[in-house]
Structure 1
Amino acid sequence: MLVLADGEGILIDAIGDKQTIFDGMDIHLGIGGKWTEDVVGTNGIGTALWTGEPVFVHAAEHFCAGIKSWTCAGAPIRDPFDGKIIGVVDLSGHPDIFRPHNIALVTAAAREIERALADSQNEERMRLLEAFISSTRNYRSSDGLMIVDRHGRAVYSNNVPLKDKKRFGDTVRQDGRNCRLPELSSSGFLDSVATSLPRDMQSCNVCPLELDGDVRGVALVFPKIESRAVSVGNVTAPQRLQTDRSLIIGESEALLSAIDVACRVGETEDVTSLLIEGETGVGKELFARLIHARSQKSASNPFIALNCGAITKELFGSELFGHTAGAFTGASREGKAGVFELANGGVLSLDEIGEMPIDIQPFLLRVLEERVVHRLGDSRPRPVDVRLVASTNRDLKREVDAGRFRRDLFYRISTVSIHVPPLRERGADSVLLIEHFNRKIAAKKNGFPLHFSNEALDALLAYHWPGNVRELRNLVERLHILLNRGFVDLGDLPPEIVMRHPASAHEGSTSDGAPGSASPVLSFEDAERQAIQNALIAEHGNLSRVALRLGVSRPTLYRKLEKFGIRRGFI
């Protein structure tokens, strides 16, 4: 029989004589069996994996007594991309098949598999390059470019500075072989790519590359920048923690403070459960994904999200803990794993946990305390290692006082609480978000970004945003769909936004308070310049306090000072 095993020594396919395959089942030489040396000792599969060389193991040379009546020859299969062993092809049977050339046979089979893999990888590489050329606009030959496939492999690189390559561990070429980025999951592919980048490289543009309707890779474009330090006069902007631009957009102090807490929680393994609080639409799940990405232990493991508000009371237990076959009417015939098992080793995000029925909450508390789950209808405990990130738009303390949420569960999940600020408390972040969604939606439609008038931006900045970031994103998408021209004016915005336009506050009043004449309305840029100058005067030129007063980061303030030609010495 000829068998194929993966890099973990687990058999994934077998062909050959039916009687031999049947006999192999007696020694677990069948699909699903594990044949590493630490499990069964010396054997053709496990020893080939261990040594990285073709091996022949005959009869009594096997370690285990039960397999001494077999002969096997195994050869490792290497990934043509980086030379990593990814499997073994093995010829096994009773001792009468012993022939010296058996090892040459499996070696030839392994080389043929490697050639087929190399052809497939080269074809995929060419198709990704063609997808980049056909779909990406505004790429300059001076920009750095790295194309990554869905397995995290850097299949192409150009103009990426050596110092940036080394941050990946000499990724693109190392000892004459290709290497790969940190392992990426197939779920949330773009998020995984972006959060796998070193912090000081996360300002690059991440462009999805689609093949046959699926995202099969990304292009990382590193715009050429003459100097990474931004200077204003004699002041040099210090490097500060850069947030992942593909996940969370914003530079306000309130947001950066929440991000800082999330990053620190993600980087420690001591906190196994935490609570994210915030209004609907602020992006609580993005913070859960950020925590998952920052975790050294779980970043490459599952991220499972479950919305508690979208599950009926009857199905809560099954969704959380799973069930056995026939555990209840309508149960799956094969049984089903719950989200705790699916998230084992990674992060489980329970959104809107305040919607969880109170009679289910004791069982959740027990799982968090004991780290084991019991499927419905099954008494067997199943250990789980899961970091729980709960999120809610409710005031859980008030829910506890009202008896709708268990006090002991609240204190268990709120060891660390992160408050995600609403958009109205994030200052000029709305402008950054408008620009982000504007470009993202334009790229998706193969079009051009919209241009907003100063009046339109004034109105958007003054709006309360009850739906937060989700409402803003939907508005930008609607403008892309409805407008036939590439310009957005005040009249193109919804009435509820226009009503809060700053000009309306001055209608019917004069500068001295008398009705009948309107005070002058500054343009968006003039108002921004005046606000910065006023803050500089009020804070006596202290840029840290100016940035805090304006609700922006120091790097953003430096860029604005340079843009408007403002020096601290003007005061």
Structure 2
Amino acid sequence: MAWETFVTSGHPAEARSDHVRDDILASWLRSMEMGVDAATLASRKISDEDEIALRRQHNAHLRRAASAAFRRLEPHLSDAKSIMLLADDQGVIIDAIGDASVLDDGQGIHLEVGGQWNEKTVGTNGIGTALKTGKPMYVHAAEHFVEGVQAWTCAGAPIRNPFDNSVIGVVDLSGPPDIFRRHNIALVLAAAREIEIALAEQQRQDRTQLLEAFLQSKYSQADNSVLLLDRNGRILFRRGVDETTFPSSDKLLVGQKLLPDLEAFNAKDLPTLLPPNVEAQGLERLVLDNDYRGAALFLKCDRSLRRPEIGARRIQPRPNVSEEPIHIVCASPKMLEAIELAERAAQANVSVLIQGETGVGKELFARLIHSRLGRPDSPYVPVNCAAISNDLIGAELFGYVDGAFTGAARGGRAGKFEQANGGLLCLDEIGDMPIELQPYLLRALEQRAIYRMGDSKRRPVDVRLVAMTNRDLRQEIEKGKFRRDLFYRIGVVTIEVPPLRERGSDILALLEHFSDHFARETGRPKMSFGADALKMLASYRWPGNVRELRNAVQRIYLVCSGPVVTVKDLPPELRDDFDESEEDSLESILSGNSGDLESIEASAIRRTIAAEKGNLTRVAAVLGISRPTLYRKMRQYRIDRSVGRPD
């Protein structure tokens, strides 16, 4: 009745009813203003099959990202009288799966590949209204604006680009009215999030391959400002391009589509496509493994302006973060790609998961994201989940009111979520969070609000979450120690920080950086490193990563007396890794009188303990034995945990 009143009168006030939601009424009004005929019996379909094929090809990345979710859900749809649809950013359906009979019925209203379902074409519907509002939306029966679609129910969720948060498509569940459940929206929301995670992984791989192609090309050493573009003309990486060198750098952001598809691009059109005050020096194609990956666009800039160093990032932090600037020293492709991903993730309002071994510098990435939030004086609140007891972590995160528990401070206390309001909350060692507390964290992130312990008052919070871990959370999920839904919520964008041993020449660059730092700090002249010492430092596997390297350089400046660092000046653990004693040499064990299996086993345990710095959990994992077995064998062979040598 409300729909009939509205389409005949055209006045929302007359159609308003307790049974008509505000979002639906607003969509009806838009449909009316755009001239959509409410008596329409079906949507429209693109008639040219070549155009449909071209559109599907243009959205190949979106279809590829959705394929895993669609394969997983398809067997469950056929018995549920439901179909699942994937639409592009124009509301055109590019994929459809599900119940065969429902797919056939859908063709009658062009609910099929090539069907156009934006609001301008067919009014209020799950796909078009989700696209228009950018929100999940269910549209049931007579809530549809055009009469011919009111025999259907649908629920759509927007799919967002993980890096600029723009809506690039919709996943939709449709079928006859009897399949309607309000929680259908939860299914498409989960599918949309899974697609976004797959998109983020695709883009990460694309950037890595493009960067590798550039670094292997003859152009990588040129001292130019450069933009690396993928095959679609989108900027994936930039070097020497910021506000100090280009006034229009805000129009040359990573993720922006700068040029048309490069394979059909005419270089003569380049001057007309670039922003004002930006001039190109040239465009070079980039190939990796005989596959075209994209192009490097070299830009002209004023040499009198300051140019940033390529190998080191210097980022001014907020006053409440640290008094020292952030330094990320790198030139390796994996590390540069991680930095670009972090900077891009900072511009999107999404949660970020940072993964990496202990000591790789995960918190530097969290601080980098915080520095890019664009909010002056925004708080940065770090929390180490492993350093707080299970009994107190809930109160630490969410706060508590007076009398919430024995020992609670009088008057209560705000938790870390409230302290981080308007800024960034960094949860380190997220894998150590108790499983029973994880649903509360998930609820806080979903509702953007918290409840203090002992209180029923809802407190809204605007917090950007960055979680960090050195664990494999997927393995923790299989063990039942981490919730799968929380993993997908905190890992919209996942940044893998590579270990130092995979960063090649970065070891020597970091050595130079820390040497400069500790020379200033200790007031000593800067030391030089002998060739043998440099070779050993470059070859060492650095199980403690950047933190271990920093500590090693600090020790050298505190202990070494000469101006040149030699092998004997290096920390003992570095020398032991290469210059093992005769009794620990595998060759001597096998060739000498002690070549029995027990001696080999004892030596393997000693060497692994030394390499893993006494971390027995990692020692057991490396040796492929359980911790109880490791303890038993250490007692059997009288192995001292602290030094890795017999008593």
Quickly name the TM-score band, shorter chain normalised.
0.3 to 0.5
Q: TM-score, normalised by structure 1?
A: 0.45
Higher relative contact order (CA 8 A, sep 6+): 1
Q: TM-score, normalised by structure 2?
A: 0.40
